[in-house]
């Protein structure tokens, strides 16, 4: 069974570890996809890798090398709050409704 993570598609996240980590100028990006089963996320513009694409002579397509975003481990990213910056995410339950909130300021994410 897959673990439930608090990072969702469309969240703004900051890289806190890995190949693209930079302490002085931290990189941020929007989450494009979350894989709950493997615990991985794909972030826009982060962890770019080169991938070869095979050509198809019947349709006239040529083979090439393209740059795509690869998956990162979900533990290497942190959600960015508009007020506080990178924060942990908490869950608040109000009238049978769950909302994700910032752990520092309590603002809804």
Over residues 75-82, the mean pLDDT reads 93
The verdict on residue 100 lying in a domain is no
Q: In what order do the strands lie in the sheet with 77-81?
A: 72-73, 40-43, 28-35, 12-15, 77-81, 85-87
**Beta pairing partners, 72:** 41
The verdict on residue 103 lying in a domain is no
The verdict on residue 5 lying in a domain is no
Residue 74 DSSP SS3: helix
Query: pLDDT band at 95, cuts 50/70/90?
Result: confident
The verdict on residue 18 lying in a domain is yes
The verdict on residue 101 lying in a domain is no
The verdict on residue 91 lying in a domain is no
The pLDDT value given to residue 3: 79
What residue numbers bound the domain in which 51 lies? 12-81
**How does DSSP classify residue 6?**
S
- Check: CB of residue 77 under 8 Å from CB of residue 13: yes
The pLDDT value given to residue 9: 94
User: Residue 106: is its pLDDT beyond 90?
Assistant: no
- Check: CB of residue 79 under 8 Å from CB of residue 6: yes
Total domains in the chain come to: 1
Query: pLDDT band at 1, cuts 50/70/90?
Result: low
- Burial group, residue 65, by CB count within 10 angstroms (0-12, 13-18, 19+): exposed
User: Residue 84: is its pLDDT beyond 70?
Assistant: yes
- Check: CB of residue 47 under 8 Å from CB of residue 18: yes
Dig out the tokens for 58 from the structure: 């019947």
pTM of the full predicted structure?
0.82
The verdict on residue 51 lying in a domain is yes
């Amino acid at each position: 069974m897959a673990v439930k993570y608090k990072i969702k598609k469309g969240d703004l996240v900051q890289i806190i570890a890995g190949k693209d980590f930079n302490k002085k100028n931290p990189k941020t990006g929007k989450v494009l996809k979350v894989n709950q089963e493997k615990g991985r996320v794909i972030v826009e513009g982060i962890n770019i890798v080169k991938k070869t694409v095979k050509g198809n002579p019947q349709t006239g397509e040529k083979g090439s090398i393209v740059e795509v975003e690869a998956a990162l481990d979900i533990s290497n990213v942190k959600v960015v709050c508009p007020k506080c910056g990178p924060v942990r995410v908490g869950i608040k339950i109000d009238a049978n409704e769950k909302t994700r909130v910032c752990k520092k300021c309590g603002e809804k994410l």
